[in-house]
Amino acid sequence: MPVYYAESIGETISAIGEKLVPNLLSFVVQFLSFLVLLLVVFFFAYKPVKKILNKRADYIQDEINQAEEKNALATTSVNEAKELVSSSKVKASEIIKNAESQGQEKYDAMILEAKQEVADMKKAAEQDIARAKEDAIQDIRSEMVNVALSASKEILKREVDEKDNAKLAEDFIDQLN
């Protein structure tokens, strides 16, 4: 048994040696096949894939550049909008202040006009009262003259002419005042 075992080990080692160290012709053919395969892959796969990847990289870079430009434009637009809103607020506050001052001016003018109208109405009323007083005094004088004439006719039992009548009435009125 031991011999059989040694023979078997020797065959195993030689089989392993043959498999580890290949045949030179077989090695050269396999190596050339590998090189041909590498060249085929290089020309038909690597270059087109590299070209596609370069195109893709250029496309992505263009997109990034456009996005940056759009971002800058958007930032500019936002800043302009903020400035516009700010200036609009300032204008709105100015308009409100102007409206308030104009309203106050109109209010003051209306108050002044109303006071002037009241003063005018008071003056007109005072003039009407004075006129009415004068008219009343004239009416009272006329009535007094008529009463005095009637009384004088009764007292004198005669007809008094116009001159006498006027003189008597005037004297009577003067005595009353």
pLDDT in tens, 35-88: 999 988 888 888 888 899 999 999 999 999 999 999 999 999 999 999 999 999
40: left (phi over 0), alpha (psi -120 to 50) or beta: alpha
- The candidate with the shortest Cα–Cα distance to 150, out of 169, 163, 171, 136, is 169
Identify the pLDDT of residue 128. Answer: 92
Identify the pLDDT of residue 151. Answer: 72
Identify the pLDDT of residue 60. Answer: 95
pTM: 0.39
Task: Phi first, then psi: give them for residue 21, nearest 5 degrees.
Answer: -105, 105
CA distances (Å), origin 61, targets 47, 53, 75, 123 = 21, 12, 21, 91
Residue range 162-176: mean pLDDT, rounded: 71
Bigger pLDDT: 168 vs 33? 33
pLDDT of 109-168, one tens digit each?
999 999 999 999 999 999 999 999 888 888 888 887 777 777 777 676 555 566 776 776
Residue 92 pLDDT exceeds 60: yes
Identify the pLDDT of residue 3. Answer: 46
Which tokens is 68 given?
């940056």
